[in-house]
Amino acid sequence: MLSIGVLGVNHKTANLPLREAIARGVSNLSSNAIFPYPTVLLSTCNRTEIYFSSEDLAEGHSHLLSYLRKQIDVPFEQAFYSFFGIDCFFHLCRVAAGLDSAIFAESEIQRQVRVAYSSASNLPASLHFVFQKALKVSKEVRSQQQQNGVPTLYKALWRLAEWQNKKILAVGYSQINRGFISFLLHKGVSQITLATRSPGNVDVEGIRVVDRSILSHWGHFDVIVCAGSSDGYLIQGQGHERHIIFDLSVPRNVDPNVGAKLYNIEQINQWIAEHQNTHLLGEAESMIWQNVIRLSRIYRIKTRRGLSEKYVRIQ
């Protein structure tokens, strides 16, 4: 049996303020001194999920909830979902493949799953197995879906604003912004400025790179995309209705009262839901479920033969 479980929230079960509170509350969970179970913490703009291993999954689940009650000062339990064993494995594969994302089959989540897994330590064989296999399965599913022309986050942003002949400001040198800048350059968009903490470490041809001091003059730009990290709002003050701002960060980077046309991640999720093609979801889930059943059977056979708790990571 796969002695694994997951407790989490996502954009479907919790609104943005609650997701922000939960993300802050679990930020120190990786310390075993705080929570004495092996864990992998996956925290993104759309979800916070805690994968854990325990011989007694009910006990581990109970201890995890007790820990969260001490860290989060708002009611949250009604927003959480839980999966155990093979259902947890299936859920992780869906997440890594982007099937549970706001944008169907978006690619950023797979990198985030890989980073979360690589950042964890002292994991047992069960967690090593499901994360390695989930990354492999999700890659196969994504390859299949790309052949079917599924949408991407970048295409959604492209449709929500006019980009040609506009002054663009990207805030944060995150994976999302790096990918979107490449997307815009491929579309022939110029006048792109990137604001980051360490401009000297960035070398991207075709754009201007500056430090964050430029954010006090954000009103000089037409479209702003925030996808960075900060302890407070990076974009504040009064804008104009001609400004379009995308805040893709959790916690948010943009003051909700900024006085411009603002799309936070919650509003983008809603727009995507209204334009999402759900026909391909069933095919992808069927493909994942077949792999999960097959791999779970392999895991049971190996554990019966005495599989070592040390499992080789994906490089």
Catalytic residues: 45
Q: What is the DSSP string of 137-199?
A: HHHHHHHHHHHTT---HHHHHHHHS--TT--EEEES--HHHHHHHHHHHHTT---EEEE-S-G
CA distance 18 to 16: 5
Q: Which two tokens stand for residue 90?
A: 């299936």
Closest by CA position to 154, among listed 268, 298, 5:
268
Residue type, position 119, single letter: S
Write the CA distances from 313 to 72, 113, 119, 292, integer angstroms. Answer: 33, 13, 12, 19
Q: Which two tokens stand for residue 148?
A: 């079917």
- In this structure, are strands 47-53 and 39-43 parallel, antiparallel, or unpaired? antiparallel
- Beta carbons within 8 Å of 78's beta carbon, 6+ residues apart: none
* Chain centre to alpha carbon of residue 209: 25
Q: What are phi and psi of 282, to 5 degrees?
A: -60, -40
Q: What is the DSSP string of 204-267?
A: -TTSEEE-GGGGGGGGG-SEEEE----SS-SB-S---TT-EEEE--SS-SB-TTSSSEEEEHHH
- Are 40 and 114 spatial neighbours (Cβ–Cβ below 8 Å)? no
Residue 315's H or E segment, with its range, is: none
Three-class secondary structure of residue 89 per DSSP = helix
